[in-house]
Amino acid sequence: MTKKSVKKNYIYNLAYQILLVIVPFATIPYLSRILGVENIGINSFTLSIVSYFVMLANIGVWSLGQREIALHQDDRKTYSKIFWDLFSFQTIVGIISILTYAIYVTFFGSYPNVQWIMIINIIAAVVDMAWFYCGLEEYRYISIRNIFIKLSSVVAIFAFVHTKDDLPIYVLINSLSLLISSALLWIKFPKVADKPVLKEIRIFKYWKDSIIYFLPQVATSIYTVLDKTMLGFITNSETENGYYEQTYKIIQLCLILITSLNAVIAPRMAFLYGKGKKKEMQDRMKTSFHFIYLIAFPIVFGLIAIGPAFSAVFFGDGYEKVQTLLPLFAPIVLIISVSNCIGGQFLVPIGKRVQTAAYLWLGAGVNIVCNLIFIPMYASYGAAIGSIIAELVITICYINMLKKYMPLNNVFKPMLNYFLSGVFMFIVLMLINHFWPDGSLLVVILKIACGAVVYFAVLLLILRDGFLISEAEKTLGKIVRR
């Protein structure tokens, strides 16, 4: 198999990851006004419930399969057999998950009109095998598929969702887009893998490994999805879930710009580790930290400075609480970016899944305790505080674990220039806010543009950041040669 380009895969995967969030994000102004904060909250709460069953249907196969396929991506016969073993197991567990969810909705469903539709999400998870293509580092095909499906879903939303009563239609559009997206992956499959040999399939060969990968997913869901579930049950308020959901969508979009790199690097890191190229792994980690700080710091400071005005323009009336919730939530962008980089790009590819799982469970426990303390007092603010504390605990644990494999100077030294530039940008934006408080859409866009210019000008002209200058020179050189 030919060597994959990490940069090209990053671009492909960036498109893939952004499209998973950008489509609902692009339709937020419309849906916020059409469906209203209460229906947004209902969708968030019911989606958090079905997410547990989707997670069960996958039962760790996503992460495990990606790693196993990546380790053997040069051997078609071997990775084909691995795929059929894992997919068979995923199918069996997925059927169990579907039946369990049906029982839940029948006897305990709070909003059965939309929860029955969401069973499609679990079916989509059962037939999904994007992890196979990720393991092969074939991101172009996945990206093209998502562009087609997501653009189609946007058209469908604007065509069929017109009133508050159209929430079930909106849910159906989202669920069908997941199912069709998963099904389309099978079109190319015969060209890149062998047919199954039924007598050679070992359905339960990887069940122990899948559990090892599944447990961290459960832990992660506790402080990503359980927030919404607990918020719904404790406050009994769809509107609080609506505020939290809209804020979290913006945070997710910001994170996609950074964490999409992790998904591309992880298979390559597993491949390098299998070849014993540890020095190259460390070099890639250094580059990743530079990239993360370069993007994360302006996002964090930008959300704090411009977030309130942006929220007011973007969501419209009825979402005033998001204007204060978004700046509070902003630091989690940097925290999650660092932890995902260390865990996703290094610790998991070198086989430290059990150790990372222990820290994830620690963070999950911290999050539950914080939610029980803060949500009754502060509602959606409390859920945000709990998430930030939990993610910070995990990140500190990961950094402590990483020091066994590389100097921590590699983690913290690249941070300084980007932090200083971000602080300078923040000061400028706050001065602009003071003298130019207008919060219209045009003004918000101009403030964002101004912040970006200030940030990169400080990095290039004052701090003379070596990483940014080097990358800029490489990019310009390629453009000139072409």
Query: pLDDT at position 201, please?
Result: 85
Reported confidence tier of residue 10, pLDDT bands at 50, 70, 90: low
Position with higher pLDDT, 232 vs 332: 332
Query: pLDDT at position 265, please?
Result: 63
Q: What is the DSSP string of 380-400?
A: HHHHHHHHHHHHHHHHHHHHH
Position with higher pLDDT, 428 vs 109: 428
For residues 205 and 149, the answer to whether their CB atoms sit within 8 Å is: no
For the cut 70, the answer to whether the pLDDT of residue 48 exceeds it is: yes
Query: pLDDT at position 398, please?
Result: 93
For the cut 80, the answer to whether the pLDDT of residue 13 exceeds it is: no
98 burial (CB, 10 Å; 0-12 / 13-18 / 19+) is middle
Query: Mean pLDDT, to the nearest integer, of 301-326?
Result: 88
Q: Mean pLDDT in the chain?
A: 85
For residues 245 and 44, the answer to whether their CB atoms sit within 8 Å is: yes
200-249 pLDDT per residue, tens:
888 888 888 888 778 777 777 766 778 888 888 898 888 888 899 889 88
Reported confidence tier of residue 176, pLDDT bands at 50, 70, 90: very high
Query: Mean pLDDT, to the nearest integer, of 135-164?
Result: 85
Low-confidence winner among 254-258, 416-420, 440-444 (lowest mean pLDDT): 254-258
Query: pLDDT at position 393, please?
Result: 95
For residues 124 and 179, the answer to whether their CB atoms sit within 8 Å is: yes
For residues 45 and 238, the answer to whether their CB atoms sit within 8 Å is: yes
395-410 pLDDT per residue, tens:
999 999 988 888 888 8
For the cut 90, the answer to whether the pLDDT of residue 382 exceeds it is: yes
Closest by CA position to 422, among listed 322, 331, 289, 324: 331
Query: Mean pLDDT, to the nearest integer, of 112-127?
Result: 94
Q: CB-based contacts of 439: which residues, under 8 Å, 6+ apart?
A: 309, 312, 313
Position with higher pLDDT, 479 vs 66: 66
All structural domains of the chain with their residue ranges: 1-222, 237-482
Position with higher pLDDT, 287 vs 91: 91
For the cut 80, the answer to whether the pLDDT of residue 25 exceeds it is: no
Three-state secondary structure call for residue 230: helix
Structure tokens at 239: 């509107």
246-282 pLDDT per residue, tens:
898 888 888 877 776 665 565 566 666 667 777 777 7
Reported confidence tier of residue 104, pLDDT bands at 50, 70, 90: very high
For the cut 90, the answer to whether the pLDDT of residue 188 exceeds it is: no
% pLDDT > 90, the chain: 36
Reported confidence tier of residue 160, pLDDT bands at 50, 70, 90: very high
Q: What is the DSSP string of 338-389?
A: HHHHHIIIIITTTT-HHHHHHHHHHHHHHHHHHHHHHHHHHTHHHHHHHHHH
For residues 209 and 55, the answer to whether their CB atoms sit within 8 Å is: no
Three-state secondary structure call for residue 72: coil
For the cut 50, the answer to whether the pLDDT of residue 2 exceeds it is: no
